């Protein structure tokens, strides 16, 4: 929750909340927690799945590029095989005739066949004939000395290896080279030498064929980009492609290309756009939006159902009870609907109102009988009240002194008023007890002590009072 909304939220929580507000808050918090949990779970699960698919796709893309490269190498090897197992080539290695060179090894033929290197090496590892056509050049040139030494090296044995293919690194670039033993057209007999054919590895052409962004880097050199260096270390102990995120938009796959001796010499990087992962992010956003919409709809439906089935009925019940309480009409009843806990509560309230009405009726009848008896009695009847309550744990003497100071006549009938010389009972109401009792008489004090000790009740006790003229009665 943003900090700017925190004070308002705290203030909302501190306010006295009605049941409707509490329900709204409970439903909102529940749905929010549910949406949050579902969002986090779906995001992690879905994005992990999309990441796995993205990684698998990147590995497959690397494999596609490697297969395309291998196809080029295979095509070159098949072309080399056609030339190596040919009687004309076999005879050329026997007599070194120039007619073969003029007819088959002219520059135009090599350029049309996309052959950049051709070399004929004898069984004695001597270069019989060789030609190199540089990329984007119309004429051939002699083979550089360094490459010549490699081609004539004795590491390739015609007696044991009929063919071999791979990459050879030169100062001008990487060359795909195939080597085939030279036989007659039937492919039989003893080899009379080796035929090398080579084609420069055109990374841009390979990228166009595979529709990927590619990059090459020599392996195990001092100045290597950090990502290639990390890939070289990782690929030293694994055969599957190494994957690395270059940025938020590109995932790169790395693999090794081997030379003619099956030793890794080049690192190939295949850049794959992260379209799958981005689609996963879009999908998770749509899912989150869908969860929010569904949560909002579910929350509104929940609130509407609670309002219709519970809250509105409780409001009507509360309004009905308040109306009866304010009007004081115990004969009124609250509305009852349904057969659930709320209707059960309403029935109990109506039963309580009925009992209260019955009790009130009985009380009124008792009050009327009391008033009739009070008014029509031939005896003087009076009732005293205290201005303030007295502590019953005080001593008897303290309570008696308190009675003398704070006790007054709260109610009496006209008979008592006439006995004491007053016109009616209203003249006596509010008079202090000291003006009615003869406090100097021991009997008055003993009567009050008995009243206190008998739990504030007294029966059949004679007391003396003073009338309006001060006479003892």
Among the three residues 273, 293, 311, which one is the final residue of a domain in this structure?
Answer: 273
- Both tokens assigned to 378: 């031939």
Asked whether residue 321 is domain-assigned, the answer is no
Contact (Cβ atoms closer than 8 angstroms) between residue 105 and residue 83? no
Q: How many CA atoms lie within 13 A of 122 on its CB side?
A: 11
pLDDT of res. 158: 52
Asked whether residue 206 is domain-assigned, the answer is yes
* Claim to verify: residue 365 and residue 385 sit in the same structural domain: no
* Claim to verify: residue 73 and residue 217 sit in the same structural domain: yes
* Claim to verify: residue 61 and residue 76 sit in the same structural domain: yes
* Claim to verify: residue 265 and residue 120 sit in the same structural domain: yes
pLDDT of res. 442: 77
Q: By C-alpha distance, which of 426, 410, 408 is closest to 418?
A: 426
Q: By C-alpha distance, which of 66, 39, 59 is closest to 285?
A: 39
pLDDT (tens digit per residue) in 337-376: 778 888 888 888 888 988 888 888 898 888 888 888 888 8
List of long-range contacts for 462-467, beta carbons under 8 Å, 24+ apart: 463/437, 464/437, 464/438, 465/420, 465/436, 465/437, 465/438, 466/420, 466/435, 466/436, 466/437, 466/438, 467/419, 467/420, 467/421
* Claim to verify: residue 395 and residue 364 sit in the same structural domain: no
Kindly give the confidence (pLDDT) of every residue in the chain, 473 residues in length, as a single tens digit, with 9 standing for 90 and above. 444 555 665 565 556 777 788 888 888 888 888 888 888 888 888 888 889 999 999 999 999 999 999 999 999 999 999 999 999 999 999 888 889 988 888 888 888 888 999 999 998 889 999 999 887 776 778 888 888 888 888 666 655 556 788 999 888 889 999 999 999 888 877 888 899 999 999 999 999 999 999 999 998 777 889 999 999 999 988 889 999 999 999 999 999 999 888 889 999 999 999 998 888 888 888 888 888 888 889 888 988 888 888 888 888 888 888 888 888 787 788 887 778 888 888 888 888 988 888 888 898 888 888 888 888 888 888 888 888 888 888 888 888 888 888 888 888 888 888 888 888 888 888 888 877 777 777 777 788 888 888 887 777 767 666 666 666 66
Asked whether residue 316 is domain-assigned, the answer is no
Query: Looking at the DSSP assignment, which residues form a beta bridge with residue 183?
Result: 85
* Claim to verify: residue 98 and residue 140 sit in the same structural domain: yes
Asked whether residue 292 is domain-assigned, the answer is no
* Claim to verify: residue 236 and residue 155 sit in the same structural domain: yes
CA 341 to chain centre: 38
Distance between CA atoms of residues 376 and 370, nearest Å:
10
* Claim to verify: residue 364 and residue 411 sit in the same structural domain: no
Q: For strands 127-133 and 117-122, give the pairing.
A: antiparallel
Asked whether residue 278 is domain-assigned, the answer is no
Number of compact structural domains in the chain: 3
* Claim to verify: residue 345 and residue 263 sit in the same structural domain: no
Kindly give, in sequence order, each residue whose CB lies less than 8 Å from that of residue 357, ignoring residues fewer than 6 positions away.
330, 331
Tell me how far apart the 2 most distant CA atoms of the chain are, in Å: 176
pLDDT of res. 8: 61
Distance between CA atoms of residues 246 and 86, nearest Å:
50
pLDDT of res. 461: 67
Among the three residues 372, 405, 433, which one is the final residue of a domain in this structure?
Answer: 372
pLDDT of res. 91: 92
* Claim to verify: residue 391 and residue 360 sit in the same structural domain: no
Distance between CA atoms of residues 108 and 140, nearest Å:
10
CATH number for position 146: 3.30.450.20
Enumerate helices (H) and strands (E) in the chain, giving the number of each: 14, 12
Asked whether residue 34 is domain-assigned, the answer is no
Asked whether residue 129 is domain-assigned, the answer is yes
Among the three residues 372, 403, 434, which one is the final residue of a domain in this structure?
Answer: 372
* Claim to verify: residue 343 and residue 251 sit in the same structural domain: no
Sheet of strand 213-218: strand arrangement: 213-218, 264-273, 250-258, 242-245
Residue range(s) defining the domain that contains residue 422: 377-453
CA 255 to chain centre: 37
Asked whether residue 291 is domain-assigned, the answer is no
Determine which helix (DSSP H) or strand (DSSP E) holds 82, and give its type and residue range: helix 19-84
* Claim to verify: residue 394 and residue 367 sit in the same structural domain: no
Classify burial at 406, counting beta carbons within 10 Å of its beta carbon; exposed 0-12, middle 13-18, buried 19 or more: middle
Query: Looking at the DSSP assignment, which residues form a beta bridge with residue 165?
Result: 178
């Amino acid at each position: 929750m943003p900090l700017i909304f925190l004070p308002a939220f705290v203030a909302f929580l501190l306010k006295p909340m009605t049941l409707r507000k509490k329900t709204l808050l409970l439903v909102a918090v529940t749905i929010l927690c549910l949406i949050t949990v579902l969002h986090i779970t779906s995001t992690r699960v879905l994005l992990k799945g999309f990441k796995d698919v993205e990684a698998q796709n990147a590995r497959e893309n690397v494999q596609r590029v490697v297969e395309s490269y291998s196809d080029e190498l295979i095509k070159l090897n098949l072309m080399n095989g056609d030339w190596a197992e040919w009687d004309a080539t076999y005879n050329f290695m026997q007599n070194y005739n120039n007619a073969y060179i003029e007819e088959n090894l002219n520059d135009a033929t090599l350029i049309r066949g996309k052959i950049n290197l051709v070399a004929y090496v004898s069984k004695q590892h001597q270069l019989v004939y060789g030609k190199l056509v540089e990329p984007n050049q119309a004429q051939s040139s002699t083979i550089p000395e360094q490459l010549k030494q490699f081609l004539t090296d004795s590491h390739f044995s015609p007696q044991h290896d009929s063919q071999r293919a791979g990459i050879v690194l030169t100062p001008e670039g990487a060359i795909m080279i195939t080597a085939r033993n030279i036989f007659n057209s039937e492919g039989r007999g003893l080899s009379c030498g080796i035929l090398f054919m080579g084609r420069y590895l055109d990374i841009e052409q390979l990228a166009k064929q595979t529709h990927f962004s590619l990059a090459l880097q020599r392996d195990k050199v001092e100045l290597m980009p950090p990502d290639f260096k990390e890939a070289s270390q990782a690929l030293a102990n694994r055969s599957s492609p190494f994957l690395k995120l270059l940025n938020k938009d590109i995932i790169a796959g790395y693999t090794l290309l081997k030379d003619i001796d099956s030793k890794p010499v080049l690192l190939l990087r295949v850049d794959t756009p992260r379209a799958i992962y981005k689609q996963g992010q879009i999908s998770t956003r749509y899912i989150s939006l869908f969860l929010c919409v569904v949560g909002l709809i579910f929350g509104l439906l929940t609130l509407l159902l609670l309002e219709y089935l519970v809250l509105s009925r409780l409001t009507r019940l509360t309004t009905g009870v308040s109306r009866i309480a304010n009007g004081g009409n115990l004969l009124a009843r609250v509305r009852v609907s349904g057969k659930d806990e709320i209707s059960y509560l309403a029935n109990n309230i109506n039963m309580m109102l009925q009992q209260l009405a019955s009790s009130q009726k009985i009380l009124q009848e008792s009050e009327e009988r009391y008033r009739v008896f009070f008014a029509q009695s031939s005896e003087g009847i009076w009732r005293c009240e205290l201005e303030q309550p007295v502590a019953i744990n005080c001593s008897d003497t303290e309570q008696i002194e308190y009675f003398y100071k704070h006790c007054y006549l709260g109610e009496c009938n006209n008979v008592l008023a006439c006995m004491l010389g007053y016109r009616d009972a209203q003249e006596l109401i509010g008079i202090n007890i000291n003006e009615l009792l003869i406090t100097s008489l021991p009997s008055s004090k003993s009567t009050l002590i008995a009243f206190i000790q008998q739990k504030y009740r007294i029966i059949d006790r004679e007391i003396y009072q003073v009338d309006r003229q001060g006479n003892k009665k």
